[in-house]
């Protein structure tokens, strides 16, 4: 038999349920713009009915779980795409700067100074007797050497800048892993009670994405909902509620920042730089150690070969005073670092008469040697005699241009993939004000109606109580 | 599809960003007038533009070199023209004194004086300078090539000027060739070698060759038999001498004049008559040298013309590749602008509205 008390109870619980639902609505609205937030729903269930004779009378609703609307598979995929995105982001920006070093559309660069250098020797050939044409040749040579240095130092500046970025990223990564470890613990505490830790999980998903953007990670959720995160194949960054730091520092072996990992305070350090192939760090490392290092190698090669070829010819000649030619460029010892060290011989800087243009001593009008030097421009001296200096340099510029172009278009493509996926994610987990408003109205009405039920029960009770007086 | 509020705002944001990026790119093109402003805009065009620019700059230098070479050649030509005038005058004088009709010991003595003047004048022509450099002293451009007796102290070298990627041209005529008749080729034309060594090996080969030629010449001179008596020395000393290198017979202008002068002074009619032949040869040697210079100028002019055209072609090509098409660009900018405006207007409406606006 139905009881008035039960009816009151049902009303009361319904009142509470709608209040819970309303509070969840307000939680959703408040987090409408929170990054990584998934909308939450109160799962209302019908209460256990009470059987009486052949009647089963319902006892209202109860609030089950508050769950988040979320597709974990999608989240994981987004995280992976975010790693690719980070890699492209890491590459594109410094590549743009590398390109600027070689930008001859607006500024004068090596191409221009090389032509000037050879032209100055042509002018010197026209007037081997004149001091002013010698001076011009010296100026052009010094400018050329100076531009080699400019390219070298600008490229190294980019490397230095990347070093700084890597150190910063390492700090960020360490902060993120600490927070993930803390969340792991919290989630475990909450979920052992059988309650889903919605907000904590949202936050952790977001952090994993951010971590993945910076560095390529693999992660898996273990028992008690804790995730363990591994980076660079071997470095366990988060395990349960402990996080282990990455360290970035300069070593003695190389003047670049390297990344190290140490399992615990007593373990030994591992260098992990070469393991980082993905994420922003991977992209930055790729530019620093492959692209820029390669570009430095090429400009070194160019400087070295140019100096070598010019010197080989120049020492065969005789200068204004009939003395045999000196080395024109102070010879870099090794190819590596040539573009930094290349310098016009001091003897020539101090006395342009020492520039040797003649093939025999005492012939003031002889320009055979200077003709030979200027002919170098069209001689195939680079890459086993298959390319001229200009060919070599120009194709390197083209190469860097296309690397940068490709990076930019891949970045665009990756960006639109990611945007598409985020949009799908929002479509599933995002908060819609319209929806929440409708829910709000619905729940408010439920609240009203529940209150009405209680009042009705109250009135019924009053009716019953007033029976006796009559 | 379920539309969450964040989707709308990111979409709006993305589209406006995209439009603005395009706008910025187009604005940059308009400001620089260039379609390609950094290598990654179009790597292959960048490479080609760079090499076009190198070519353009070196072509300009070649043109400049050609101008200088031409002025040098013109100056040489002028000097040789004066020289041939003098030789013609000497020939006229010699003809007048070659027979006994209207000429005798006295007139020959007087004429000898004039020939001596012509000799001096020719030496002066041989010592002409353009700026600081003697034009007839081969590579020894700072050494005076001829002394008062017509002895040569220059060399036979050619000053070579680069006029194209792999082409050099000799711009001078060494005095030893045009005045002394040494190293004149078989057909009597003075040719400048236009080969400049490229590698050190080639340079050394060239040096060895020079040394060998030098040696042959010295041997030849050493073995030369004097054919005439001392009194008229010089007049025929080298007349029958073949150039050991080219097997040609060149004429020593100064010895010819000197020989004529001596013959006149010694009233040697036969000597004067002999000199006539020599003078003819000398004149033709100088004329041939002048024609050689003329043909050099012609070829330089042709090269210069083709270089100038190449500079223009290069410019046109580079411009076509890297310059922005302004008309297209302006219309593109207008289109982007109206797209941006439309995006903003529709976005404004989309972002504002929600169910809340309609609940009172």
Query: In chain B, what residues touch A115 (CB-CB under 8 Å)?
Result: 53-54, 57-58
A298 lies in the same domain as A376: yes
What is the pLDDT, as a whole number, of residue B247?
54
**Assigned domain for A28 exists:** yes
What is the pLDDT, as a whole number, of residue A288?
94
Query: In chain A, what residues touch B44 (CB-CB under 8 Å)?
Result: 398, 402
A373 lies in the same domain as A317: yes
Query: In chain B, what residues touch A362 (CB-CB under 8 Å)?
Result: 140
Q: How far is CA A457 from CA A2, A7, A462, in A?
A: 12, 7, 9
β-partners of residue A235 are A231
B356 at the A interface (CB within 8 A)? yes
Is B53 close to A104, i.e. CB distance below 8 A? yes
The encoded tokens of residue A432 equal 């819609």
Is B54 close to A111, i.e. CB distance below 8 A? yes
How many contacts, defined by CB atoms under 8 Å, are there between A and B?
214
Is A365 close to B133, i.e. CB distance below 8 A? yes
The encoded tokens of residue A348 equal 């020539």
The encoded tokens of residue A19 equal 């209040």
Question: CB–CB of A136/A123 below 8 Å?
Answer: yes
**Assigned domain for B324 exists:** no
What is the pLDDT, as a whole number, of residue A206?
95
**Assigned domain for B104 exists:** yes
Q: A253: burial class by Cβ within 10 Å (0-12, 13-18, 19+)?
A: exposed
Nearest-neighbour CA in chain A from B248: distance (Å): 26
Q: How far apart are CA A311 and CA B308, in angstroms?
A: 33
Question: CB–CB of B78/B136 below 8 Å?
Answer: no
Spell A317-336 as b/e; 16+ CB within 10 A means b.
Answer: bbbbeeeebbbbbbebeeee
Q: Return the residue in A69, A71, A105, A130 with the most chain B beta carbons within 10 A, the one to mutate for interface testing.
A: A105
Question: CB–CB of A313/A194 below 8 Å?
Answer: no
Domain range spanning residue A20? 4-68+432-465
A385 at the B interface (CB within 8 A)? no
Closest chain A residue to the Cα of B5, Cα to Cα: A432
Tens-place pLDDT, residues A362-406:
888 889 999 999 999 998 988 888 999 999 999 999 999 999 999
Is A433 close to B42, i.e. CB distance below 8 A? no
Query: In chain B, what residues touch A102 (CB-CB under 8 Å)?
Result: 39
Query: In chain A, what residues touch B351 (CB-CB under 8 Å)?
Result: none
Question: CB–CB of B35/B42 below 8 Å?
Answer: yes
**Assigned domain for A298 exists:** yes
A151 lies in the same domain as A295: yes
Is B46 close to A371, i.e. CB distance below 8 A? no
Residue with the bigger pLDDT between A247 and A233: it is A247
Q: Return the residue in B35, B50, B214 with the most chain A beta carbons within 10 A, the one to mutate for interface testing.
A: B50
Contacts of A55 (CB under 8 A, 6+ apart): none
B287 at the A interface (CB within 8 A)? no
**Assigned domain for A244 exists:** no
What is the pLDDT, as a whole number, of residue A156?
94
The encoded tokens of residue B246 equal 């080219």
β-partners of residue A55 are A52
**At which of A382, A400, A418 does a domain end?**
A400
**Assigned domain for A370 exists:** yes
**Assigned domain for B347 exists:** no
A contact residues 304-333, partner B, Cβ 8 Å cutoff: 312-313, 316
Domain count, chain B: 1
B51 at the A interface (CB within 8 A)? yes
In SS3 terms, chain B reads as CCCCHHHHHHHHHHHHHHHHHHHHHHHHHHHHCECCCCHHHCHHHHHHHHHHHHHHHHHHHHHHHHHHHHHHHHHHHHHHHHHHHHHHHHHHHHHHHCCCCCCCHHHHHHHHHHHHHHHHHHHHHHCCEECCEECCCCCCCCCCCECCCCCECCCCCCCEEEEECCEEEECCCCHHHHCCCCCCCCCCCCCCCCCCCCCHHHHHHHHHHHHHHHHHHHHHHHHCCCCCCHHHCCCCCCCCCCCCCCCCCCCCHHHHHHHHHHHHHCCCHHHHHHHHHHHHHHHHHHHHHHHHHHHHHHHHHHHHHHHHHHHHHHHHHHHHHHECCHHHHHHHHHHHHHHHHHHHHHHHHHHHCCHHHHCC
Is A122 close to B65, i.e. CB distance below 8 A? yes
Nearest-neighbour CA in chain A from B324: distance (Å): 13
Instruction: Tell me how crowded residue B52 is: count the other CB atoms within 10 A of its CB.
Output: 21
A96 at the B interface (CB within 8 A)? yes
The encoded tokens of residue B256 equal 């010819």
**Assigned domain for A14 exists:** yes
**Assigned domain for B225 exists:** no
B50 at the A interface (CB within 8 A)? yes
In this prediction, the residues of chain B whose per-residue pLDDT falls under 50 are 226-240
What is the pLDDT, as a whole number, of residue B232?
44
Q: How far apart are CA B317 and CA B6, in angstroms?
A: 50
CATH number at residue B100: 1.20.1330.10
ipTM for the complex? 0.84
What is the pLDDT, as a whole number, of residue B237?
45
Domain count, chain A: 2
Q: How far apart are CA B134 and CA A365, in angstroms?
A: 9
Q: A121: burial class by Cβ within 10 Å (0-12, 13-18, 19+)?
A: buried
In terms of residues, how long is chain B? 360
Is A105 close to B36, i.e. CB distance below 8 A? yes
Tens-place pLDDT, residues A286-340:
999 999 999 999 999 999 999 999 999 999 999 989 889 999 998 778 898 899 9
Query: In chain A, what residues touch B196 (CB-CB under 8 Å)?
Result: 368, 371-372, 375
Rounded to an integer, the average pLDDT of A32-60 is 89
Nearest to A287 by CA among A407, A113, A433: A407
Angle, alpha carbons A333-A338-A339 (nearest 5°):
165
A297 lies in the same domain as A392: yes
Percentage of chain A lying above the pLDDT 90 cut? 72
B299 at the A interface (CB within 8 A)? no
A388 lies in the same domain as A440: no
Contacts of B127 (CB under 8 A, 6+ apart): B134, B136, B144, B145, B146
A147 lies in the same domain as A295: yes
Is A125 close to B139, i.e. CB distance below 8 A? no
Q: pTM of the entire structure?
A: 0.85
Residue that has been written with the tokens 């003819």 in this structure: B280
Find how far residue B26's CA is from the centre of its chain: 45
A contact residues 387-416, partner B, Cβ 8 Å cutoff: 390-391, 393-395, 397-405, 408
Question: Is a pLDDT exceeding 60 seen at residue A203?
Answer: yes
Domain range spanning residue B235? 52-195+230-315
- A368 → closest Cβ in B11, B38, B197: B197
**Assigned domain for A140 exists:** yes
Spell A369-402 as b/e; 16+ CB within 10 A means b.
Answer: bbbbbbbbbbeebbeeeeebbbbbbbbbbbbbbb
**Assigned domain for A351 exists:** yes
**Assigned domain for A198 exists:** no
**Assigned domain for B59 exists:** yes
Query: In chain B, what residues touch A111 (CB-CB under 8 Å)?
Result: 50, 53-54
Nearest-neighbour CA in chain A from B63: distance (Å): 11
Question: Is a pLDDT exceeding 60 seen at residue A350?
Answer: yes
What is the pLDDT, as a whole number, of residue B240?
41
- B140 → closest Cβ in A123, A365, A378: A365
Contacts of B347 (CB under 8 A, 6+ apart): B12, B15, B16
Nearest-neighbour CA in chain A from B25: distance (Å): 14
Question: Is a pLDDT exceeding 80 seen at residue A458?
Answer: yes
The encoded tokens of residue A92 equal 């594109």
Query: In chain B, what residues touch A437 (CB-CB under 8 Å)?
Result: 354-356, 359
Q: Return the residue in A71, A397, A401 with the most chain B beta carbons within 10 A, the one to mutate for interface testing.
A: A401
A293 lies in the same domain as A151: yes
The dihedrals phi and psi of A343, each to the nearest 5 degrees, come to -160, 140
Question: CB–CB of B194/B168 below 8 Å?
Answer: yes
Closest chain B residue to the Cα of A315, Cα to Cα: B200
Is A394 close to B47, i.e. CB distance below 8 A? yes
Contacts of B342 (CB under 8 A, 6+ apart): none
Band of residue A431 on the pLDDT scale cut at 50, 70, 90: very high
Closest chain B residue to the Cα of A367, Cα to Cα: B159
């Amino acid at each position: 038999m139905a009881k008035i008390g039960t009816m009151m109870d049902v009303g009361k619980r319904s009142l509470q349920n709608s209040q819970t639902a309303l509070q969840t609505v307000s939680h959703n609205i408040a987090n409408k713009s929170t990054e990584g937030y998934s909308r939450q729903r109160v799962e209302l269930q019908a209460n256990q009915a009470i059987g009486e004779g052949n009647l089963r009378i319902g006892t209202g609703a109860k609030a089950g779980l508050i769950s988040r609307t979320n597709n974990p598979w999608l989240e994981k995929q987004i995280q992976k795409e975010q790693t690719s995105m980070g890699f492209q982001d890491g590459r594109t920006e410094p590549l743009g700067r590398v390109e600027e070093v070689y930008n001859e559309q607006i500024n004068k660069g090596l191409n221009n100074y090389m032509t000037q250098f050879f032209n100055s020797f042509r002018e010197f050939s026209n007037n081997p007797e004149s001091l002013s044409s010698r001076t011009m040749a010296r100026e052009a040579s010094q400018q050329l050497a100076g531009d080699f240095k400019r390219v070298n130092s600008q490229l190294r500046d980019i490397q230095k800048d990347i070093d700084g970025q890597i150190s910063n990223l390492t700090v960020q990564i360490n902060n993120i892993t600490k927070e993930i470890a803390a969340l792991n613990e919290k989630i475990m505490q909450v979920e052992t009670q059988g309650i889903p830790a919605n907000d904590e999980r949202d936050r952790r998903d977001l952090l994993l994405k951010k971590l993945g953007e910076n560095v390529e990670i693999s992660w898996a959720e273990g028992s008690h909902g804790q995730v363990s995160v591994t980076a660079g194949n071997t470095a366990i960054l988060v395990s349960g509620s402990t996080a282990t730091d990455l360290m970035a520092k300069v070593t003695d072996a190389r003047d670049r920042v390297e990344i190290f990992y140490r399992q615990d305070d007593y373990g030994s350090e591992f260098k992990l730089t070469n393991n980082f192939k993905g994420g922003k760090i991977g992209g930055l490392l790729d530019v620093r150690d492959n692209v820029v290092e390669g570009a430095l190698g090429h400009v070194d090669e160019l400087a070295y070969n140019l100096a070598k070829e010019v010197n080989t010819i120049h020492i065969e000649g005789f200068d204004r005073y009939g003395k045999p030619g000196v080395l024109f460029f102070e010879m870099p010892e090794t190819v590596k670092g040539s573009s930094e060290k290349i310098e016009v011989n001091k003897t020539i800087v101090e006395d342009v008469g020492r520039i040797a243009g003649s093939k025999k001593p005492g012939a003031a009008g002889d320009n055979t040697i200077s003709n030979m030097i200027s002919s170098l421009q069209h001689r195939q001296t680079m890459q086993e005699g298959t390319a001229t200096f200009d060919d070599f340099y120009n194709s390197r510029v083209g190469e860097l241009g296309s690397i940068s172009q490709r990076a930019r278009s891949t970045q665009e493509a990756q960006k639109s993939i990611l945007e598409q996926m985020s949009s799908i994610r929002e479509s599933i987990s995002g908060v819609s004000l319209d929806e929440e408003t409708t829910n709000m109205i619905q729940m408010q009405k439920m609240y009203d109606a529940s209150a009405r039920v209680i009042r009705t029960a109250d009135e019924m009770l009053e009716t019953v109580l007033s029976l006796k007086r009559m | 599809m379920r539309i969450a509020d964040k989707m709308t705002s990111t979409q709006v944001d993305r589209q406006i960003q995209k439009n603005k990026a395009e706008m910025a790119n187009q604005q940059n093109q308009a400001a620089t007038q260039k379609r390609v402003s950094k290598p990654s805009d179009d790597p292959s065009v960048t490479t080609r533009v760079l090499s076009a620019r190198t070519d353009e700059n070196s072509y300009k230098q070649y043109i400049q070199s050609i101008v200088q070479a031409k002025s040098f050649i013109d100056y040489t030509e002028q000097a040789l023209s004066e020289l041939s005038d003098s030789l013609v005058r000497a020939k006229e004088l010699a003809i007048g004194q070659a027979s006994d009709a209207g000429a005798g010991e006295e007139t020959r003595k007087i004429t000898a004086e004039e020939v001596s003047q012509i000799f001096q004048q020719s030496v002066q022509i041989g010592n002409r300078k353009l700026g600081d450099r003697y034009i007839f002293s081969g590579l020894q451009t700072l050494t005076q090539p001829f002394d008062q007796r017509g002895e040569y102290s220059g060399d036979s070298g050619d000053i070579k000027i680069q006029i194209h990627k792999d082409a050099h041209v000799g711009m001078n005529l060494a005095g030893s060739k045009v005045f002394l008749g040494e190293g004149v080729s078989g057909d009597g034309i003075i040719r400048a070698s236009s080969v400049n060594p490229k590698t050190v090996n080639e340079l050394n080969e060239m040096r060895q060759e020079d040394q060998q030629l030098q040696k042959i010449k010295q041997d030849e001179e050493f073995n030369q038999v004097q054919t005439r008596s001392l009194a008229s020395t010089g007049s025929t000393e080298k007349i029958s001498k073949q150039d050991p290198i080219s097997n040609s017979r060149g004429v020593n202008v100064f010895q010819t004049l000197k020989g004529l002068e001596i013959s006149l002074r010694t009233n040697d009619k036969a000597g004067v008559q002999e000199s006539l032949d020599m003078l003819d040869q000398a004149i033709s040697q100088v004329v041939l040298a002048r024609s050689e210079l003329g043909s050099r100028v012609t070829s330089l002019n042709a090269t210069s013309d083709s270089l100038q055209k190449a500079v223009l072609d290069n410019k046109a090509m580079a411009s076509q590749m890297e310059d922005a098409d302004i008309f297209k660009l302006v219309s593109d900018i207008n289109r982007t602008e109206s797209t941006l405006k439309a995006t903003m207007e529709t976005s404004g409406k989309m972002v504002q509205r929600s169910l809340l606006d309609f609940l009172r």
